[in-house]
Amino acid sequence: MKYGTILGIKKPVSRIAQGSIMFTREEQDHSFELLDTAFEAGINMVDTAHAYGEDNERLPAEWVASRGVRDKFVMLAKGAHPDNDGKHCNPKDITTQLNQSLERMKFDYIDLYVLHRDDPDVPVGEIVDVLNEHHSAGKIHAFGGSNWTYERLKAANEYAESKGLVPFAVSSPNFSLAVAVKPMWGGCLSIQNPDHAAAREWYKETGMALVTWSSIARGFFSGRFTSANFEEKKDSVEDCMIEGYCCAENFRRLDRAYELAAEKGATVPQVALAYVFNYPLNIFALVGACAVEEIQSNLGALEIELTPEEMGWLNLERDKR
């Protein structure tokens, strides 16, 4: 495993984070098996969210308590996801959901608390202030924003600097080899798309940690289908993946991933993950592995070095490599 650092977290943080949206009480044994496998492989960060439901937050916390690994474990918890009752990205709702998450987990603190969405109508200073209150109280050690524009993150950190406060340490956008042609869910933001070059440049300049989600494009690079047989296989994949990633350019990227995987003795998911890890940003890739074998296979991506020519070729920026 390879590790990095995130501002405010004293523990080393694994470059791969395990998703937990698939965890259920009905399949608790399987959920714990996935966590055991991930932790044994060196993966020490798990992603949860208030919006995913109570068991999603309780199960990883119960696993941590049963294994006695709280001092080595990084809990990434998300709050402030919009629903029919509102956007929830305001001081009152952030506080309510954070306290609910801590109660569900039976934790004294959350290592990394990430706001699931932004609400541009709320002054960014109010959000920074309330997150600093909870940071000062020891409830969170670091915080960030998921699907926030880099402009709002920049404004937040400029406000924090002007007030002598703790800044946002993390951004969590979508990023993968595939370009997102349509947001998978409302308010989602991808920084792979060509029109987000300014965001990538800002992240490069600041070195802000990125916890990127849907690293293999919601299964587009799972290796379960090719561009040639996709029509026969598409009934087995999610509609959001079809709507979000199925376009001619991405199928060309998929073809090239197959070609490069064959040459390197790797798998398509490994090549797609390697693209993320080799991108010149401070990236921690969130991967929702649903099987023990997937977790073990994903580790191989960390060992694949891609040249700038291979990176550009995979992303259709070059005709040769």
Handedness of CA 62, 65, 67, 69 (dihedral sign): positive
CA nearest to 310, candidates 256, 245, 270, 266: 256
Q: Which domain holds residue 295?
A: 3-224+269-304
pLDDT at 39: 97
What 3-state DSSP class applies to 256? helix
Q: How many domains does the chain have?
A: 1
Partnered with residue 287 across adjacent β-strands are: 18
Q: Flag whether 320 is in a domain.
A: no
What single letter denotes the amino acid at residue 313? W
Q: Flag whether 193 is in a domain.
A: yes
Do residues 311 and 278 make contact, with C-beta atoms less than 8 angstroms apart?
yes
pLDDT above 90 for 93: yes
249, two tokens: 């350019």
pLDDT at 186: 84
pLDDT tens track for 20-58: 988 999 999 999 999 999 999 999 999 999 999 899 999
Q: Flag whether 116 is in a domain.
A: yes
Q: Flag whether 19 is in a domain.
A: yes
- Identify the DSSP state of 299: G
Whichever domain contains 9, its CATH number is 3.20.20.100
Q: Flag whether 13 is in a domain.
A: yes
pLDDT above 90 for 264: yes
**Residue 193 pLDDT level (bands cut at 50, 70, 90):** confident
pLDDT at 236: 83
Report the share of the chain in percent with pLDDT over 90.
89
Q: Flag whether 258 is in a domain.
A: no
pLDDT tens track for 195-225: 899 999 999 999 999 999 999 999 999 999 9
Partnered with residue 210 across adjacent β-strands are: 171, 283
pLDDT tens track for 99-127: 999 999 999 999 999 999 999 999 999 99
pLDDT at 319: 94
Q: Flag whether 273 is in a domain.
A: yes
pLDDT above 90 for 321: no
pLDDT tens track for 287-296: 988 999 999 9
Q: Flag whether 195 is in a domain.
A: yes
Q: What is the rounded distance in angstroms from the CA atom of residue 242 to the CA atom of residue 129?
A: 40
Q: What is the rounded distance in angstroms from the CA atom of residue 29 to the CA atom of residue 90?
A: 37
Q: What is the rounded distance in angstroms from the CA atom of residue 236 to the CA atom of residue 161?
A: 49
Beta strand ranges found along the chain (DSSP E): 3-6, 9-14, 16-19, 45-49, 74-79, 110-115, 140-146, 170-172, 209-212, 283-287
